Amino acid sequence: MSAICRWLSAIVAVVFLASMLRAEDLRLNNLARTMKEGSPLDKIDAANELAKMGSDAKPVAGKNLAHACFDAVPKVAQAALSALEKVWPELYTPGVTLMKDTEDKFGVSEKRAEACEAIAKMPDGDAGVPFLLYHLRAHLEKDDDFHKLNTALAANAEALKKIAADNPNLHKILLSGASNFNVKHKNRALALQTLGEIGEANPKLRKLFIPTLRTACNAQSPDPRQPTHPKNDVRPVRVAAIEALAKFGKDSQPELPMLKKLKFDPVDEVRKAAKSAVDLLESSK
């Protein structure tokens, strides 16, 4: 075969390979789009196809697949979760832990805490936000906090602050967890603290958060006869709310009259927090 023939054959081979790669890319993009926008049956078929591709499907379809794990149709969610195990095992493992692990050793849930931290450390950890939100929604108002704040909840809040601070679903869950309806006082305090930290970094969210913080500043113990009992102790709630308002600078100026009154509250921790908040807000005028 002449040099020219060999050269032409090589060109044909390269063109053929390039066309094959483009076709595969197009197919992968279509499957990723189907996981986001398709019908339930189409999503199940797409998940099965992505599972066959394994890790090659991750860069294009991994995020959509992770979101589909919480599809409203149970069969779609199950198909997506099964596919995620093949496509992105590094996300599947902590994700499933957050969904299914129930271990709680007096406020320590090591596996779930480690799962939150693992997702937060991923370069593309934002794909794991649905798992983190699921866990927070499932545990913030339910986990027993008699002994201490659950380690998994603390890790959950830290992870979401890092990778999803502007997510409206996170704000909704936190506002619910920070309300009077949450009788788990340490958990409620965590929600208030997290709202304060998010609002400090995102001024546009402060007006949304302030009414809930204001209410929590004056939280009442369920049993005034035993106000320091873990099931009745709202001191962490009140202090967390006051400290959160102090982070909002000029946006919290209208709350100064209330905070000044709290400087004379019968609870020592509340008085000290209120004094610090007033001093900080007045210095920012």
The tens digit of pLDDT for each residue in 37-68 reads: 999 999 999 999 999 999 999 998 999 999 99
| pLDDT-based confidence at residue 18 (cuts at 50, 70, 90) | very low
**pLDDT exceeds 50 at position 17:** no
Residue 3 located in a structural domain: no
Q: Do 282 and 184 share a domain, yes or no?
A: yes
Spatial separation of the C-alpha atoms in residues 170 and 168, rounded to whole Å: 5
- Report pLDDT for 14: 45
Q: What is the mean pLDDT of the chain?
A: 91
The answer to whether residue 281 is domain-embedded is: yes
Report CA torsion sign: 19, 20, 25, 31. Answer: positive
Q: Is the pLDDT of residue 15 over 80?
A: no
> Nearest to residue 155, comparing CAs of 121, 130, 126, 188?
121
Please count the CA atoms within 13 angstroms of the CA of 101 that sit on its side-chain side: 22
pTM, 2 dp: 0.90
Domain check: are 181 and 257 in the same one? Answer: yes
**3-class SS of residue 217:** helix
* Residues 229 and 203 both lie in one domain: yes
Q: How confident is the model at residue 4 (pLDDT cuts 50, 70, 90)?
A: low
pLDDT score of 20 more than 60: no
Radius of gyration of the CA atoms of the chain, in A = 25
The pLDDT assigned to 23 comes to 39
Q: Which amino acid is at 207?
A: K
Least confident of 96-105, 130-139, 175-184, 254-263: 96-105
Residue 14 lies in a domain: no
What is the domain extent for residue 65? 24-87
Q: What percent of the chain has pLDDT over 70?
A: 91
Last residue of one domain, picked from the residues 164, 194, 223:
164
Quote the CA–CA distance of 17 and 94 in Å, as a whole number: 37
Residue 11 counted as domain residue = no
What pLDDT, on a 0 to 100 scale, did the predictor assign at position 26?
Answer: 83
Give the pLDDT confidence score for residue 144 in this predicted structure: 87
Indicate whether 177 and 82 sit together in one domain.
no
Looking at the structure of the chain, the number of domains it has is 3
Question: Do residue 48 and residue 140 come from a single domain?
Answer: no
